[in-house]
C-alpha cells in the first residue's frame, strides 16, 4: 500500500512539475519580424533587436511599431527612442510619408542623442510597407539640425550603422548630386550610386 501511494505521489509531482514548466516557457514568436533600433544608455550608438508584429494592416503595424519605439526594452542598457524625455504628440502617414510631431522637449536633446534618435526611428519605421520617408516636426514646426539646416524627409539610406567590425568594407549608397543646367542659371538634381569605404 505504501508503494502504491509512493507511485501516485511521484506521478502527481511529475505532472505538477510538467504543468509549472509549461507555464514558464514562452510561446514561439509569430508574426512579421521587424528590426527595432534602440539607443544605448551611453547614448553613443543604436542597437537593433528583433520584434514581431502581431497585427495585419499597415495602419495597425505602424501603431504597434510606434509602441515598440516608445517602450524601453527589458534589457536596461538600451533606451526606446521615444522614451528620451520628450513626447510624441501625434503622427500621420500619407502616400508613404510619415510625419511625427513631437513636443518642445525634443529640442533639448544633445546633438548626438538627437541624431541617434532620428536614426533609430527612421531605420525602424521605413521597414513598414506604408512608410518610405519620415520627417519630425517640433510642435508643428519643421526640424533643423545643429548647423541650422532643414532636416526634411529622411529614409534609412541616410544613416550608416557601423559598429567598428566592418572597417575597410564597402557600402553602396544612392546620393543626390546637383549639376548646373545648360544655361548655367539653375541646378538639376541627379541620383548616382557610389561605393564608399566604411
Residue ranges per structural domain of the chain: 32-157, 166-198
Pull the grid cell for residue 25.
Answer: 516557457
What is the per-residue pLDDT for 177? 83
User: 83 near 116, Cβ under 8 Å?
Assistant: no
pLDDT, tens digit, 9 for 90 and up, residues 157-186: 888 765 544 445 566 778 788 888 999 898
How confident is the model over 77-133, as pLDDT tens digits?
A: 889 999 999 999 999 999 999 999 999 999 999 999 999 999 999 999 999 999 999
32, 145, 197 from 61: Cα distances, Å: 9, 29, 35
Beta strands in the chain (DSSP E): 32-40, 46-53, 78-79, 88-94, 97-102, 133-138, 141-142, 170-180, 187-197
Mean pLDDT of the chain: 83
pLDDT for residue 134 is more than 60:
yes
Amino acid at each position: 500500500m505504501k508503494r502504491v501511494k509512493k507511485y501516485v505521489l511521484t506521478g502527481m509531482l511529475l505532472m505538477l512539475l510538467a504543468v509549472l514548466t509549461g507555464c514558464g516557457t514562452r510561446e514561439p514568436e509569430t508574426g512579421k519580424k521587424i528590426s527595432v533600433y534602440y539607443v544605448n544608455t551611453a547614448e553613443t550608438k543604436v542597437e537593433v533587436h528583433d520584434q514581431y508584429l502581431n497585427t495585419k494592416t499597415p495602419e495597425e503595424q505602424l501603431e504597434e511599431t510606434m509602441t515598440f519605439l516608445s517602450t524601453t526594452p527589458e534589457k536596461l542598457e538600451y533606451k526606446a527612442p521615444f522614451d528620451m524625455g520628450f513626447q510624441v504628440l501625434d503622427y500621420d502617414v500619407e502616400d508613404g510619408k510619415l510625419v511625427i510631431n513631437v513636443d518642445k522637449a525634443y529640442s533639448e536633446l544633445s546633438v548626438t542623442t538627437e541624431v541617434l534618435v532620428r536614426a533609430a526611428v527612421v531605420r525602424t519605421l521605413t521597414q513598414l510597407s506604408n512608410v518610405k520617408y519620415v520627417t519630425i516636426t517640433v510642435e508643428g514646426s519643421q526640424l533643423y539640425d545643429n548647423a541650422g539646416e532643414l532636416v526634411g524627409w529622411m529614409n534609412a539610406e541616410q544613416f550608416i550603422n557601423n559598429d567598428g567590425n566592418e572597417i575597410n568594407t564597402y557600402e553602396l549608397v544612392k546620393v543626390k548630386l546637383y549639376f548646373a543646367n545648360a544655361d548655367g542659371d539653375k541646378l538639376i538634381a541627379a541620383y548616382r550610386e557610389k561605393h564608399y569605404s566604411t
